[in-house]
Amino acid sequence: MEPGAVFEALADPTRREVLTLVGRQGPVTATELAAQLPVSRQAVAKHLDALRTAGLVERDKHGRDVRYGLKPERLEDAGAWMHQVGAAWDRRLATLAKRASQRGKR
């Protein structure tokens, strides 16, 4: 799965902080999050919507409360993609180092 939406959502530092708080505190409301951040409840709600669109959080409505919880699968997908790309570069760099070493011995 292409992780572009996850990286786009995580590009914003406030959004990363919101996601961190959601992950630590479990299902939480935008109002509860706003009390812990230097932004308005409306700003938190917009950040939560972007995180939800990226598949990083899920909404659960209980009466009048809307609670947000972490969906770690998308973070795991993005981490797996980064690992795959990193491994490919490690192989390329190892090949390059080997060739450079062989040239130095000539």
Q: Is the pLDDT of residue 82 over 60?
A: yes
Above pLDDT 70, what percent of the chain? 87
Please report the pLDDT score of residue 100 as a whole number: 82
* CA neighbours closer than 13 Å in the CB half-sphere of residue 62: 7
Written out in words, the top-level CATH class of the domain with range 4-104 is mainly alpha
Global confidence as pTM: 0.75
Please report the pLDDT score of residue 1 as a whole number: 45
Output 25 or 87, whichever has higher pLDDT.
Answer: 25
Q: Is the pLDDT of residue 33 over 90?
A: yes
Q: Which of 47, 10, 7, 12 shows the shortest CA–CA distance to 28?
A: 47
- Checking phi first, is residue 26 left (phi over 0); if not, alpha (psi -120 to 50) or beta? left
pLDDT in tens, 38-61: 999 999 999 999 999 999 999 999
Q: Which of 79, 66, 57, 8 shows the shortest CA–CA distance to 32?
A: 66
In degrees, rounded to 5, the angle at the alpha carbon of residue 5 between the alpha carbons of residues 11 and 83 is: 80
Q: How many CB atoms lie within 10 A of CB 24?
A: 9
